[in-house]
Structure 1
Amino acid sequence: MSNEKALSLNQDSYVIGLKQTTKALLKHEVRKVIIAQDVNIHILSKVLTVAFETDVPISYSPSRQELGSHYGIEVNATVVALLK
């Protein structure tokens, strides 16, 4: 994704990372969770548990690098939460 496209994304419409995703899930602010496929599943246990309990759909990105890049950050991203 080009920098222009990344900047055009509304930064208020998603959060990146385990802590921010977990917080948003617990507040029932998430409409969808995107998880990188190259992450150890035990790292995501809390996110997965809350997502399943609140019926939030989960989709997958091929890699942490691709997920981070897609959302306009220069580092790898484990999980992204799309907000309501």
Structure 2
Amino acid sequence: MSNEKVARFNKQQYVVGLKETLKALNKDQVTSLIIARDVEVYLMTRVLSQINQKNIPYTLFSSKKELGEYVGINVNATIVAILNEN
């Protein structure tokens, strides 16, 4: 997935952060993920387990800092979940 694709989504089409991503995964609302390359693996074990079970694709982004900036927040972002259109 390209960075341009994320830019076209509005705030209702994605969530940012591990906690919100896990909530969306549990509700089967996630179509794909963007994960920062510099995230600690132990933080992602629950997410990785679910996306492997559900065959959800993911893309790696350059860093937490840049991912946060890209989605318009002033803090680091470990993960962004792209949501279903429903």
Runs of 4+ in 1 over 4 A off after TM superposition: none
Q: What is the aligned residue count?
A: 78
- Aligned-CA RMSD value: 1.3
Counterpart CA distance in 2 for 1:50 and 1:20 is 14
Report the CA distance between 1:9 and its aligned residue. 4.4
Q: Show the counterpart of 2:13.
A: 13
TM-score (norm 2): 0.85
Counterpart CA distance in 1 for 2:55 and 2:41 is 19
Q: Show the counterpart of 1:83.
A: 83
Counterpart CA distance in 2 for 1:67 and 1:15 is 12
Q: Show the counterpart of 1:46.
A: 46
User: Cα deviations across residues 3-23 of structure 1 (Å, max 9, x unaligned)?
Assistant: xxx7x7410000000010011
Q: Please list every run of 5 or more consecutive structure 1 residues that lacks an aligned counterpart in the other structure.
A: 1-5
Report the CA distance between 1:61 and its aligned residue. 0.4
User: Cα deviations across residues 26-69 of structure 1 (Å, max 9, x unaligned)?
Assistant: 11100101100011111100011111111110111010011101
Q: Please list every run of 5 or more consecutive structure 2 residues that lacks an aligned counterpart in the other structure.
A: 1-6
